[in-house]
Amino acid sequence: MKRKEFLISIFLPSLGGGGAEKVALKLAEGFVNRGFNVDLVLLKAEGPYLNLIPKKCTLYVLNSRRALFSLFKLVKYLKSRKPSVFISNLTHLNIVSLLTKLLFTNKIKFVIVEHLNFTKSFKYKRGMKKYFLYFMMKSFYPYADKIIAVSQGVAMDFESLLPGVKQKIKVIYNPIPVDEIIEKSKEPLNHPWFKDSQIPVILSAGRLSSQKDFGTLMKAFSLIRKELKSRLVILGEGEERKNLENLAKSLGIYEDILMPGFVDNPYKFMSKASVFVLSSIYEGFANVIVEAMACGLSVVSTDCESGPREILEDGKYGKLVPVGDPEALAKATMETIKNPYDKEFLILRARDFSVEAAVSKYLEIIE
């Protein structure tokens, strides 16, 4: 089939400011640049990334509050558009997508993408919903034509959870647009903290959620401040904001912490910070580590499952510390501030995760 006759559909809940959404948009752009038709299918037309939809993509909005409620609208979409391949992201959407495959018999290839280490995320989820989710995964994931894992750790986790789908799993690292990031990192940043080179700025970014464990980062920062005058900036928004603000006040570090919320261009912060710190309890790939490295910024990360150890190659490109250990995090951060990694060394590593490489690997399995 000619590429101009080949339709790729990418399914997302919305275009909220998360890593999965950013990755999907970069893949869509990559497919369009290779001459493919691309539909972007959303449950809801909302989120800060709406203005980043590639011009040649066609947007379809199902107008559903929940994934399950979109089932029949999704079947209608598939009957109407008849895509060659349907790429679904995130567990709840993956389940609904595979359910539509059973209801819709047209020869569409269904590819699902898993962005998290399910075992670790399962451990920290509350209530009975997680057991239902696992049951649905066991029931429907075997019907996927391919399962994309965003890291080796995610792949290994799914092989242990669902051994029957092992042959369908393929690891494709998330695409990171390094040159685009470098260009955006050159934009001016008009904040006094980033103009005083005498006081180091520790940077982190991500949804303000329990998964990111910014509480441990704040505790580490309080230890750092006892030995080194410094400041902490956390980019992102989320349900833990109030708790984190209260923790900062109780630790006596509130005046030296900045939490500006979601920002359109985090890279201008990265290019001017002293070190980037990821404090997560679990991840799938940790895009933000590669993004920081693309800006030439040294990284300290928890050795969480999955992603950081693979990206940093067992500590070659940045220090790894145990999860939930503020003392170890503080020590590694101070060492990195005093002895940062070579910028070109980090940028070169970031280029290993290019958009072009990811798009080529996707096309190997869907063409």
Which residue among 145, 172, 199 closes a domain? 172
Shared-domain flag, residues 14 and 141 = yes
Both 54 and 10 in one domain: the answer is yes
Residues 132 and 260 in one domain: no
Global pTM value: 0.92
**Shared domain check, 167 and 61:** yes
Considering the domain boundaries, does residue 365 fall inside one? Answer: no
**Of 150, 172, 194, the domain-final residue:** 172
Q: Between the CA of residue 297 and those of 67, 72, 155, 272, 294, what are the distances in Å?
A: 38, 46, 28, 8, 7
Counted domains in the chain: 2
For residues 168 and 122, the answer to whether their CB atoms sit within 8 Å is: no
Split at pLDDT 50, 70, 90, the class of 2 is low
**Residue 245 carries which side chain, given as an amino acid letter?**
E
In a domain, 357, yes or no: no
Shared domain check, 236 and 308: yes
158 and 192 both lie in a single domain: no
Q: Report the CATH number at residue 75.
A: 3.40.50.2000
Q: In this structure, which long-range contacts are made by residues 347-353, counting pairs with CB atoms below 8 Å and at least 24 apart in sequence?
A: 347/178, 347/182, 347/293, 347/294, 347/296, 349/293, 349/311, 349/313, 349/317, 350/176, 350/178, 350/290, 350/291, 350/293, 350/294, 351/178, 351/294, 353/173, 353/174, 353/175, 353/176, 353/178, 353/290, 353/311
Confidence category of residue 124, pLDDT binned at 50, 70, 90:
confident
Q: Is residue 361 part of a domain?
A: no
Taking 70 as the threshold, does the pLDDT of residue 107 lie above it?
yes
Judge whether residue 1 has pLDDT over 60.
no
Q: Are residues 280 and 339 in the same domain?
A: yes
- Does residue 194 sit in the same domain as residue 326? yes
Residue 367: inside a domain, yes or no? Answer: no
| Percent of the chain whose predicted confidence (pLDDT) is above 70 | 99
Helix axes 343-350, 287-294, angle to 10 degrees: 130
Query: Residue 366 falls within a domain, yes or no?
Result: no
Report whether pLDDT(272) > 80. Answer: yes
DSSP E strand boundaries for 90-182: 109-114, 146-149, 169-171
- 327-336 mean pLDDT: 98
In a domain, residue 359? The reply is: no
CA 57 to chain centre: 21
- The boundaries of the domain holding residue 259 are 178-352
Closest by CA position to 311, among listed 179, 153, 149, 118:
153
Say if 227 falls within a structural domain: yes
Residue 254's pLDDT is 97
Q: Which residue has the tokens 């070579």?
A: 342
19 inside domain: yes
In angstroms, the Cα distances linking 122 to 130, 152, 157 are 6, 18, 12
In this structure, the strands spanning 299-302 and 275-278 are parallel
Among 128, 147, 172, the domain boundary falls at 172
273 and 127, same structural domain? no
Q: Is the bond into 160 cis (omega within 30 degrees of 0)? A: no
pLDDT of residue 181: 97
Residue 68 pLDDT exceeds 90: no
CA distance 85 to 83: 5
Both tokens assigned to 231: 């400041």
| Average pLDDT taken over every residue of the chain | 94
Mean pLDDT of 2-7: 80
* pLDDT tens profile 127-182: 788 888 889 999 999 999 999 999 999 999 999 999 989 999 999 999 999 999 99
Q: Which amino acid, residue 161?
A: L
